[in-house]
Amino acid sequence: MSAARTPSRRPLPARALAIQVLARVAATDAYLNVVLDSVLDEFQPKDPRDAGLVTELCYGATRRRLTLDFALGTVADRKLESIEDKVLAALRLGAYQLFFTRVPKHAAVGETVAALKAVGLDRASGFVNAILRRLSALEAPPLPTLDPLETLAVQTSHPAWLVRRWQRQFGPERARAMLDADNEPPRVVIRANTSKVSRDALLEQLRGAGVEAAATGTSPSGIVLSTPGRVEDLLGYDEGLWQVQDEAAQLVGVYAQVPAGARVLDACAAPGGKACHLAETNEVLALDVHENKLPKIQGEARRLGLSARLSTRALDASQLPDDLGEFDVVLVDAPCSGLGTLRRHPELRYRRQEKDFGPLATLQRQVLESCQRHVAPGGLLVYAVCTTDATEGPDQVELFLRSHPDFTAEPPRRLSLPMVQASLRTLPGPEGFDGFFAARLRRLA
């Protein structure tokens, strides 16, 4: 039994914790989910509803940051970039409550100012109070009016270059659906561990325990949970009956159609969802360049009862050693821009730049070139990225096939999946998916 955790800090109200999270994310360029988990663990709010409120406020304010910043810029008497992190976090937090929640305006202002004082910034409370009171007089966040593209970018809180790129690649209607979907909270989806339980049996158990659960529409082993609370507290977690994994990520494993008993190399495995999925029926060697990420994969494999079939090594997928040997299947879940996961990682939309695609494409080519050497004759190379961008998906596959005539694209048989030609493609939108691309390439015997 693990030792009980003892709070290391004095209790703070939910909005004060949210200010801490947003300020740390801005100061460190860390992932929002990582900082959020760290702060909640550090301060340990006693009421679970407070943890839920902190999560909602942090994700909401981050998703809507461009909208909030434009609104704040219309009433502030100084440039936002000159404002210290915690004060700016409080302003965004208050603005988010004013425009995107049902919190009464007086409470949105008053509670945010009180939260700022709780984190030791009494000196800035008058400034924040004045700015938020000016905003509270508006019925909706203001928008730029001269350029339709800029208007849409601010309205949906995506950088203008990305809006333009998506409109060009997918057309205005689909691009708008993707932009809107990115601002909705993602579904909580789990994948039944079929080495222990069928999806139908797991569904029955969850419903019997009072959990609202429904089968996913496309993945044969996915379950959507409604208002699950802490997933670690749900039936079946400790028993290893399931793993959290978005439906689109599950579809990569389905699309790969790996034959049972195959020897599999997962070349870029962290955080380990796809490796564990494949280990339900296959022997898997999971690699990652960051050694500190391997314990999480190992821990999940133990929890799921898959340790006998899943081993790990710290290796750089772009420079694999020759003595690694050959595998029946090599999965390359390549480093990418992550533009298909902006619902889950909203901070990425403000960090990515259009110039990033060149270096990313170069790295992806290096990883593919290194990994293809370890595909046995007649074996499969499965290339996957959690992005929507063509330069990281179909363009990479086309370039690879041109330079490797011993490989050919081979779609899976008898599967009904969202496909473009021979490749898997899911897009953010009303379907509820993250954005993924995958290609299944067969090395000729």
Taking alpha carbons only, the member of 52, 25, 62 closest to residue 344 is: 62
Alpha-carbon span 89 to 80, nearest angstrom: 11
User: Rounded CA gap, 74 and 369, in Å?
Assistant: 50
Chain-centre distance for alpha carbon 320: 27
Instruction: Return phi, psi of residue 127, to 5°.
Output: -60, -50
| 386 carries an active-site annotation | yes
Contacts of 204 (CB under 8 A, 6+ apart): none
Closest CA to 90 of 22, 43, 30: 22
- Read out DSSP for 265-324? EETT-TT-HHHHHHHTTSEEEEEES-GGGHHHHHHHHHHHT-TTTEEEEE--GGG--GGG
User: Long-range CB contacts (< 8 A, 24+ apart) of 5-8?
Assistant: 5/41, 5/44, 7/43, 7/44, 8/42
CA angle 237/238/240 to nearest 5° reads: 65
Count other C-beta atoms under 10 Å from residue 190's C-beta.
Answer: 28
Give 29's Cβ-side CA count (13 Å radius).
3
Contact 39/20 with Cβ under 8 angstroms? yes
Q: SS3 of 433, please? A: coil
DSSP per-residue letters across 13-41: -HHHHHHHHHHHHHHH---HHHHHHHHHH
Q: List residues with catalytic annotation.
A: 386
